[in-house]
Amino acid sequence: MGVADVVYYTFHFTELRSIIQWKTWHNPVHERNREKEPVSLQICFDFLDKTSRSFSTVIQELHPQLLVPIALFYLILRGLDTVEDDMTIALDEKMKVLREFHQTAEKEGWSFSGNGPDEKDRELLVQFHYVTEEYRKVKPVYREIINDITRQMGDGMADYCKKAADGKAGVDSIKDYDLYCYYVAGLVGNGLTRLFVESGLANPALNERLHLQTSMGLFLQKTNIIRDVREDWDDKRRFWPREIWSKYVEDFDDLFRPENREAALNCSSDMVLNSLNHADECLFYLAGLKEQSVFNFAAIPQSMAIATLALVFRNPDIFKKNIKITKGSACQVMLESTQNLQKVCEVFTRFVRKIHKKNTPKDPNFLKISIACGKVEQFIASIFPPQDPKALQRAVEAAPQLVKKEEDPATIKAREEEKWDLIYMMIAVMGTMFVLSCFMIGLAWLLGARFDVAVDQLTQRFSKADTAPAQTPVNDYDQREL
């Protein structure tokens, strides 16, 4: 932690508290046992840590049945993305590798060293034979799903690379924008859903709701595209659709000019609106996940996305630099998102209200954004109806025994846990004060403090106070002067 972090958390103590709570109180539903893994699988997880620390954490807490398949699924798609992003690879070779990646991922000993020396994840492909070695051990039904998604994504990336070579790489319509996000993220949601259902850890009905699977991926990808607009512009890439930005500026580069700041903010709010329209379907999807580790795996990124969306909404900094939510805020969101759907809905409600609060009538999208925020809250209210305190009090007074009988066991358990948490905290505080007191006294003694002299002086002072005779107050006033 640097000096800047120390200063920041000095004035944002609640965020520091969230970090400490996450590090101290978070208990993984399942823990990976590295000692029982072969060396090749250990190397795969090392690459997972290097390529994405955020996803690596939630993946390694997954149910043992899905731990390895999803970890390898991520590495395979990361390898595919590394080939697609590298502009030093010749077009013909790149398209061939992309279209055949789903087959080569199963070939024994296959690796790829054609990336440029500066490509970030080049080493993953150089040592990809470790991934193929472990991938061939995965259950055939899981491999079939991963192969299908890899094939579709590879074909989509190859088509996009061909368009880029022909000078048609820009995203023109919202339909093109949705299609691009589907290929790079929506397909991932589709593949993960099929893995969840196949493992028996999700409701089979999710397989029939393709729009819900797609929204999970699109919500994440669109939020990242909004957040990374400056970084992409610096790299001469444009993912914001012309159909949206052309309503506000003549040329996409104009969004980054200070004199067009208000138009740029209105354009960004239009992009946020496009992403926000997927939020309620993401919550609907999460309701179909049965197992806690799978729920955590899916819920954390979605909660991070809504928090990021609230951060970037009408924020001029996105056109100056890449911005992210703070580590403290991220830990708070993760703590809340690893409990249950109701807590995740509370996270969504909090950040949707932040968006609504930042919304301004000067924005041409003001009404649409207000409706989109209301739509999310309305959906949440349909799952968890808000309680009227007065009506609840009347019900308690009218039927106290019935209420007591039907009290939720989870509520009772939570209340009991809160009581013990308070007790433990008080013990911790008192213990800390005791240890500090002992330390200070010991330090004083080492530096030569004479506690015996201090005790003698205090004893003499109190003994004198007890034995001294009472004195009659003397009136010094001259009565004649009165």
Q: Which of 184, 185, 344 has its CA nearest to residue 280?
A: 344
Q: Is 237 a catalytic residue?
A: yes
Which two three-digit tokens encode residue 377? 């809250």
Q: Is 180 a catalytic residue?
A: yes
Q: Which of 246, 247, 178 has its CA nearest to residue 217?
A: 178
Pick the catalytic residue: 297, 319, 348, 351? Answer: 297
Burial environment of residue 482 by CB neighbours within 10 A (0 to 12, 13 to 18, 19 or more): exposed
Residue 478 has φ and ψ, to the nearest 5°, of: -85, 110
Q: Which of 30, 36, 90, 28 has its CA nearest to residue 64?
A: 30
Pick the catalytic residue: 47, 142, 160, 180? Answer: 180
Q: What is the DSSP string of 133-196?
A: HHHTTS-HHHHHHHHHHHHHHHHHHHHHHHHHHTT--S--SHHHHHHHHIIIIIHHHHHHHHHH
Pick the catalytic residue: 32, 143, 194, 227? Answer: 227
Q: Which of 415, 286, 414 has its CA nearest to residue 338?
A: 286
Pick the catalytic residue: 99, 209, 230, 237? Answer: 237
Question: CA 324 to CA 332: how far, in whole Å?
Answer: 14
Distances (CA, A) of 238 to 234, 235, 257, 413: 10, 9, 16, 51
Which two three-digit tokens encode residue 14? 């609640």
Just list the catalytic residues.
Answer: 180, 227, 237, 297
